[in-house]
Amino acid sequence: MAYHAPLKDMHFALKTAGGIDALAELPVFTETATPDMVEAVLGEAAKLAGQVWAPTNKIGDRVGAKLNGLDVVTPPGFKDAFTQFAEGGWNSLTFPTEYGGQNLPWVLGMAVNEMWQSANLALSLCPLLSQAAIEAIEQYGTDAQKKTYLPKMVSAEWTGTMQLTEPQAGTDLAAIRTVAKKNGDHYLMKGQKIYITWGEHDFTSNIIHLVLARVDGLPEGNDGLGLFIVPKFILNDDGTPGKRNDVKPVSLEHKLGIHGSPTCVMMYGEETGAVAYLVGKEGEGLKAMFTMMNNARIGVGVQGVATCEAAYQHALSYAKDRVQSTKLGDKSGTRVAIIEHPDVRRMLMTMKATAEAARALSYYAGGQVDLSRHASSEEVRKAAFVRADILTPLVKAWCTDLAVENASLGLQIHGGMGFIEETGAAQFYRDARILPIYEGTNGIQSNDLVFRKLLRDGGVGIKGMIADMRHSLATFAGKPSDDLDAVSTHMTHAVDSLERTTAWMLANAKSNTYTMAASAQPYQRQLSLVAGGYMLALQSLAAYDALKQGGGDADYFNTKLATSRFFAEAILPQAWGLETPIMGGHAVAVQIANDQF
């Protein structure tokens, strides 16, 4: 499957949404995030993604990963692709130089990660989870743990995993039964974990598992959990891998998609107990775990963006080549490529517009994460943290929902051939379907948005987003452009609707909580649509200004104006269509008896 990174749109999104130019002026990035460096990083990543990773995608789907005893054999080409990724220093882009990182902005790393994910979603999961594990150790590990594990993990000489789920403990992590018992300077762990992505593989000399387990002697529930480092191979005194730890894969899950990614059932402590090292404090495992989880949630959102892009490119190529029927109204009998047919064009524009809105929104979240960590002013850091906190469930839920919807549209554009595996359209759909489920289902993201992010501060954070939108829309006045007029008009209508539903949610928070919980998902969808539309509105304004100044790529900027207008006119009206479902429309679902279903 061919893949060509959309470098123009990535550059534009990094500037208009991710704030890469402002980030480059921060002291921490002045020497690393120069315009030349950003361009070079994106360009070289595009080559590796398109020329090395993408050719492995289809064979990974067909061959899959295989378990051979204690070892997992990955599909042909996977190990070489990962090796080139590691040797090129791609895993180290955003991490501190003290651990061998390159100290580039996290938002730039997101753009690069999008390329790996578009090229081969199954393979990209390995570095994604490693990066989340690195963040947890960096934030909560001891100095000795950081010195021991981070340089090897940052360089991708070792990889990491995130292990939470058990058969009886999916969302309800308080039900975890895997237990770690103190044994001198370490713990011994016994238990089972399921759905462990890249829990075993043949890429590296060691795998560093981060495992959430119950601490022996602590009470039941969340307060009894700890986060532990459990290496595949216990380290020798010199830091090299030594004896194999008492942890092993016992089976691989048979999945709908992402076949190239080994999803393992892992057993701990079947013999003497797996040697484990506490990260942070006993009883604070959830706190440390959420560092990994929030990192991974935005990362999974970017996987949604990547799948939208890959499915769009695949469908567009097919639509340009597939000749079927005459053009509507043409009496000559000349058969044309299906891209000439209005319904196909509608589907392609829907895929294009939503992919670009999702990309901009995710990069915006990434830029806010960078500001929350590195802005010179504490006030700016705090404001950026609140904004990133709100955006995280939007990016995870909306972008992954769009991945499924757009992959389905791509399959529809292929017609009957889309249902045939040889075309490759079905793989995007099968691979995408896991994205709304893992790292917290999208229903959980909606609850997080409403019950934590909205109610925590009485709506101050989301009202701040609405105020920013209104301020930006005011700048559209006086610019003679039909495209901008359409964008501004529809965005204003959508913001008005969002303000009304936000007020309803806040008013019903205590008196009507159960019904409000049923409204959480459509509210999340509405806020995401408006936020995505806002990102495209800002881009349309930037494109208009660039055209007026006579600089840059006129074709790209005119296309951006058309795409933003399409989103505003054809997709954004869903936002105010959700107003009734949000404001009590799901009440019946929570009122009827169970046996009425």
DSSP per-residue string spanning 357-405? HHHHHHHHHHHHHHHHHH-SSHHHHHHHHHHHHHHHHHHHHHHHHHHHH
In the predicted model, what is the mean pLDDT of residues 454-464?
95
Q: What is the pLDDT of residue 504?
A: 95
Q: Distance from CA of residue 502 to its chain's centroid?
A: 25
Give the model confidence (pLDDT) of 380-389 as tens digits: 999 999 999 9
Q: What's the farthest any 2 CA atoms get from each other in the chain? A: 85
What distance, in Å, lies between the first and last C-alpha atoms of the chain?
43
Nearest to 364 by CA among 402, 404, 394, 406: 394
In the predicted model, what is the mean pLDDT of residues 174-190?
97
Are 33 and 104 in contact, with CB atoms under 8 Å apart?
Answer: yes
Other CB atoms within a 10 A radius of the CB of residue 178 amount to 25
Other CB atoms within a 10 A radius of the CB of residue 204 amount to 22
pLDDT band at 510 (very low <50, low <70, confident <90, very high): confident
Run of H or E including 500:
helix 482-507
Nearest to 260 by CA among 113, 434, 66: 66
Other CB atoms within a 10 A radius of the CB of residue 432 amount to 30
pLDDT band at 287 (very low <50, low <70, confident <90, very high): confident
Using DSSP bridges, classify how beta strands 225-231 and 71-73 pair: parallel, antiparallel or unpaired.
Answer: unpaired
Are 390 and 449 in contact, with CB atoms under 8 Å apart?
Answer: yes
551 pLDDT higher than 80: no
Task: Of 284-288, 366-370, 565-569, give the lowest mean pLDDT range.
Answer: 284-288
| Alpha carbons 484 and 441: distance in angstroms, whole number | 36
Other CB atoms within a 10 A radius of the CB of residue 105 amount to 29
CATH number of 7-154: 1.10.540.10
Q: Is 379 a catalytic residue?
A: no
587 pLDDT higher than 90: no
288 pLDDT higher than 90: no
Give the model confidence (pLDDT) of 186-240 as tens digits: 999 999 999 999 999 999 999 999 999 999 999 999 999 999 999 999 999 999 9
pLDDT band at 256 (very low <50, low <70, confident <90, very high): very high
In the predicted model, what is the mean pLDDT of residues 341-353?
98
Other CB atoms within a 10 A radius of the CB of residue 373 amount to 15
| Alpha carbons 269 and 266: distance in angstroms, whole number | 10
125 pLDDT higher than 80: yes
| Alpha carbons 339 and 354: distance in angstroms, whole number | 18
Task: Classify residue 158 by burial, with Cβ atoms within 10 Å: 0-12, 13-18, 19+.
Answer: buried
Q: What is the pLDDT of residue 511?
A: 85
In the predicted model, what is the mean pLDDT of residues 339-350?
98
Work out the percent of the chain whose per-residue pLDDT is above 90: 92
| Alpha carbons 75 and 61: distance in angstroms, whole number | 9
Run of H or E including 187:
strand 186-197
Q: What is the pLDDT of residue 295?
A: 73
Q: Where are the alpha helices (DSSP H) in 265-341?
A: 285-321
Cβ neighbours of residue 334 closer than 8 Å, sequence gap 6 or more: 326, 327
Other CB atoms within a 10 A radius of the CB of residue 579 amount to 18
Are 82 and 90 in contact, with CB atoms under 8 Å apart?
Answer: no
Are 253 and 263 in contact, with CB atoms under 8 Å apart?
Answer: yes
294 pLDDT higher than 90: no
pLDDT band at 246 (very low <50, low <70, confident <90, very high): very high
Q: Average pLDDT, whole number, for the chain?
A: 96
Q: What is the pLDDT of residue 293?
A: 77
Q: Tokens at residue 42, please?
A: 């994106």
Give the model confidence (pLDDT) of 40-91 as tens digits: 999 999 999 999 999 999 999 999 999 999 999 999 999 999 999 999 999 9
466 pLDDT higher than 90: yes
In the predicted model, what is the mean pLDDT of residues 513-536?
95
In the predicted model, what is the mean pLDDT of residues 28-33?
95
Are 519 and 583 in contact, with CB atoms under 8 Å apart?
Answer: yes
CATH number of 159-285: 2.40.110.20
585 pLDDT higher than 90: no
**pTM score:** 0.96
In the predicted model, what is the mean pLDDT of residues 318-340?
94
Output phi, psi for 89, to 5 deg. Answer: 75, 20
| Alpha carbons 326 and 340: distance in angstroms, whole number | 9
| Alpha carbons 133 and 199: distance in angstroms, whole number | 13
Q: What is the pLDDT of residue 586?
A: 84
Work out the percent of the chain whose per-residue pLDDT is above 70: 100
Are 19 and 371 in contact, with CB atoms under 8 Å apart?
Answer: yes
Q: Given the residues 439, 499, 569, 579, select the one marked as catalytic.
A: 439
